[in-house]
Structure 1
Amino acid sequence: MKFTDELWASIEHIYDAILELPFIKELTNGTLPEDVFIFYLKQDTLYLAEFSRALSLAGIRSDSTKQMYDFLHFASRAVVVEQQLHQNFYEEYGTEMNPEKSPSCFAYTNFLLSTAATKDNAVNIAALLPCFWIYRKVGMEIYKNAADDNPYQDWIDTYAGEEFEESVNRAIAITNDVAADESEERLQEMKQAFIKATELEWMFWNSAYQKEQWPLQEVLEGS
């Protein structure tokens, strides 16, 4: 069994819970409200900026030149390809970015950046993997079941596409390569980071559907 097989087995129940989220179900059948999708896009744009920084740090800290190149390529793709996808939707919907991170987005990005800055790079790599792997699995599941004339088809096609699959497969392979040289203690750290990032993936999807706000902001707006 590969190390990543063990990782996936540890979070499969969380992945199943992600597929049951209203956001995912309504995105699949094309009934997700436009304002919810826009809220998600804006939070994801903010997330990707920090995700790309964590990817860059993983590349800089890699012992392998090939791995360094791969992570820097991942980082540039997150900025260029995925954020361009977002920008296309912003133009279509006539909206602009909102710079305020939701609590869940803040928690997720801070987890990734603090892991990248303070933990062993193997742990950082494990923490970054769910964003690749979960998005790919969710994207493929949505693609297989998407309603005809789905208004979010461009988003669906991006994460179900071959180019993204190649990145995911490479990220999985890197994680296995790195794990092969680590102690059992370090492998457990990697596993815990992978699980935590997957839990934050669930929180991110769920918070988008709720159009999550900071509690104080809600109090002030309601006063």
Structure 2
Amino acid sequence: MKFTDHLWNAALPVFDKIITHPFNQEMMSGTLPEEKFKFYIYQDSLYLADFAKALATAGTKANTSEQLLKFLLFAQNAIIVERVLHESYFQEYAINIDGGKAPGCFAYTNYLLAVSAYESFEVAVAALLPCFWIYKKVGDHIFANQSTPNPYQNWIDAYAGEEFAVSVNNALDICNMLAEQASETTRQKMTEAYITASRLEFVFWDSAYRLESWDV
């Protein structure tokens, strides 16, 4: 069994809650209120900016120049997606960009930035993996079960598409390669990081559905 199979099984209860969360269920049926989608897209743009930084930071710890190049490419792609959000969704939905990070986004991005800065390359890769893998799994699930026509078709197509699948597979291959050469202690830390980031993926979607804001 590949190490990523172990990771998937370890966090499967979290993924099940993500798939059945009202945000993704209503995205799938096309009934998600526009206000919640707008909130999500804005938070996602803030998330991606920091995700790119975390990817680049992790890449500087890579063991090979090939791994470094792939992580720098991941970071570049995250920035490109963030720009596309501004150029398309922000204009289409007239999204307000003055709100700042909601608590869920703040917690997730700061976790990834901290892990990428202070943990080993192996642990950072495991923490960054859910944003690739879980998003692809969610996109595929929604694409396969969606109601059509769907007002959020462009988002669904992006995360269920083959171009995104290439990045996901590259991230999975790197994680498996690192795990094969890592100690049992490091693999345990990788597992813990993956589960934590998966939980924060759930928190991110839940935050958008609740239109989460700071109470103080």
Shorter-chain TM range is: over 0.9
Alignment partner, residue 206 of structure 2? 206
Q: Is the 8 A contact 2:18 2:202 kept in 1?
A: yes
Tell me how far apart the structure 2 counterparts of residues 145 and 86 of structure 1 sit (CA, whole Å). Answer: 28
Alignment partner, residue 181 of structure 1? 181
Alignment partner, residue 147 of structure 1? 147
Q: Is the 8 A contact 2:41 2:85 kept in 1?
A: no
Tell me the amino acid that sits aligned with residue 41 of structure 1. I
Secondary structure at the residue paired with 1:61?
A: coil
Alignment partner, residue 20 of structure 1? 20
CA shift at 1:96, angstroms? Answer: 3.5
Q: Is the 8 A contact 2:49 2:82 kept in 1?
A: no
CA shift at 1:83, angstroms? Answer: 3.5
Tell me how far apart the structure 1 counterparts of residues 98 and 124 of structure 2 sit (CA, whole Å). Answer: 28
- RMSD of aligned C-alpha atoms? 1.0
Q: Is the 8 A contact 1:46 1:99 kept in 2?
A: no
CA shift at 1:86, angstroms? Answer: 4.7
Tell me the amino acid that sits aligned with residue 122 of structure 2. A
CA shift at 1:90, angstroms? Answer: 1.1
CA shift at 1:98, angstroms? Answer: 3.0
Q: Is the 8 A contact 1:49 1:79 kept in 2?
A: yes
5+ residue gaps, structure 1, are 217-223
Tell me the amino acid that sits aligned with residue 57 of structure 1. T
Q: Is the 8 A contact 2:52 2:79 kept in 1?
A: yes
Alignment partner, residue 70 of structure 1? 70
Alignment partner, residue 221 of structure 1? none
Change (3 A) 1:25 1:31: same
Tell me how far apart the structure 2 counterparts of residues 177 and 99 of structure 1 sit (CA, whole Å). Answer: 40
Tell me how far apart the structure 1 counterparts of residues 95 and 4 of structure 2 sit (CA, whole Å). Answer: 39
| Normalised TM-score (structure 1) | 0.94
| Normalised TM-score (structure 2) | 0.97
Tell me the amino acid that sits aligned with residue 140 of structure 1. D
1:107-146 pair list within 5 angstroms: 107-146=107-146
Alignment partner, residue 194 of structure 2? 194
Q: Is the 8 A contact 2:21 2:206 kept in 1?
A: yes
Tell me the amino acid that sits aligned with residue 55 of structure 1. L
Q: Is the 8 A contact 1:131 1:201 kept in 2?
A: yes
Alignment partner, residue 48 of structure 1? 48
5+ residue gaps, structure 2, are none
CA shift at 1:26, angstroms? Answer: 0.5
Tell me how far apart the structure 1 counterparts of residues 118 and 60 of structure 2 sit (CA, whole Å). Answer: 14
CA shift at 1:147, angstroms? Answer: 1.2
Secondary structure at the residue paired with 1:32?
A: coil
Per-residue deviation, residues 37-91 of structure 1 (Å, max 9, x unmatched): 0000010000000000010012111011111111111111111135404530111
Alignment partner, residue 37 of structure 2? 37
Corresponding pairs, count: 216
Change (3 A) 1:194 1:160: same
Tell me the amino acid that sits aligned with residue 160 of structure 2. A
Tell me how far apart the structure 2 counterparts of residues 107 and 24 of structure 1 sit (CA, whole Å). Answer: 21
Change (3 A) 1:81 1:55: same
Alignment partner, residue 91 of structure 2? 91
Alignment partner, residue 6 of structure 2? 6
Tell me how far apart the structure 1 counterparts of residues 156 and 165 of structure 2 sit (CA, whole Å). Answer: 13
Tell me how far apart the structure 1 counterparts of residues 152 and 107 of structure 2 sit (CA, whole Å). Answer: 26
Tell me how far apart the structure 2 counterparts of residues 32 and 24 of structure 1 sit (CA, whole Å). Answer: 8
